[in-house]
Amino acid sequence: MPSLHPLLSAFAPIWAITGVGYVVGRTRLLGPHAETVLNRFVFHVAMPAALFLMIARTPLDRFANPSMLAFAAGTAVAIGLGLLAGKLVFGRKPGELAIGAMASGYVNSANLGIPVTMQVVGDASFVAPVVLFQILLVTPAVLAVLDGGAAGRRALLTLPVRNPILLAAAVGAAVSAAGLHLPAELNRSCELLGGAGVPTALIALGMSLHNRPPADGRSRRAEVGLIVAVKTLLQPLVALAVAGPLLHLPEHQLLTVVLFSALPTAQNVYTYAREYGQGTVLARDAVLWSTLVSMATLSVISWTLGPA
């Protein structure tokens, strides 16, 4: 069974870069508007480049496999519960509801999913279909709600053209479906731009910790706690129930699905919240606390479901 050390190694860069961001924010090294500028760079430049390249390189038929049914079931239950709790218990508005729901079920599939599954399973191929599922199905729904609140009367049909994340995903899917091979120069350019996305987003996340607003009482703490519990406990339990008793997946596939479902909330959620000014504090706290708690839950999963 894997020790705790490999998992700590996977999480260490996340905390280190976030810590650098906190120092940068505390010292005001980049000026008063740096957090906003960095988030807009991630949203409008780096993240679209990374998503376009990843989807363009991935055959779309990899999206359809039994393991994805279990992962999708866990995601649907987590997001649905996040929506219900946000609306009925915490009285969130539509944009904040979308962020809360996304924080409840949107996993950190790439920069944590790859190292964690490589350490525990020895295979990170499940990353591609998870990314496709989240970018092509979950993200458009969330961004449609966020953009609808911000856009007023602008037609929803123009959203993919106006939103760089959805535009990059759509163009990447078209390239993949057509079987086109990207020029080496375009590949390299997108790799360089996309590679800046994760560290920049983490720097911005760390900077936001220095400007913490006054706590708004037990309600927000309870909401963050519920989101973290749904993300790190309920979502993998639902995936386990579907992948095991219902689909009877082989042991290595079962472990992979449950591990991916237990990954913490992706920092993308904070980037979207910051860009649209909806549920920013909720998204930030969900990312931080789910990342911390998932170190324990992922360890338990690897010990209980992993090979002897």
Q: Model confidence over 104-139: pLDDT tens digits?
A: 999 998 778 878 887 788 777 888 889 889 988 999
Check pLDDT > 70 for residue 159.
no
Check pLDDT > 90 for residue 63.
no
What pLDDT shows up at residue 5?
A: 61
Contact 49, 193 (CB under 8 A): yes
What pLDDT shows up at residue 121?
A: 80
Contact 163, 47 (CB under 8 A): no
What pLDDT shows up at residue 217?
A: 54
Greater model confidence, 296 or 4: 296
Distances (CA, A) of 307 to 80, 122, 244, 253, 302: 32, 11, 16, 12, 8
Question: Between helices 4-27 and 34-41, what is the axis angle to 10°?
Answer: 130
Distances (CA, A) of 41 to 35, 208, 272: 10, 16, 12
State the alpha helices, DSSP H only, in 94-196: 94-105, 113-120, 127-133, 139-151, 159-162, 164-178, 184-195
- Compute the mean pLDDT over every residue in the chain, rounded to the nearest whole number: 87
Euclidean distance between CA atoms 191 and 180, whole angstroms = 17
What pLDDT shows up at residue 122?
A: 79
Check pLDDT > 70 for residue 4.
no
Check pLDDT > 50 for residue 1.
no
Domains (range + CATH), the chain:
4-305 (1.20.1530.20)
Main-chain phi, psi angles of 248, to 5 degrees? 55, 50
Average pLDDT over residues 135-156: 73
Average pLDDT over residues 203-227: 78
Model confidence, pTM = 0.84
What pLDDT shows up at residue 214?
A: 53
Check pLDDT > 90 for residue 80.
yes
Residues in the chain: 308
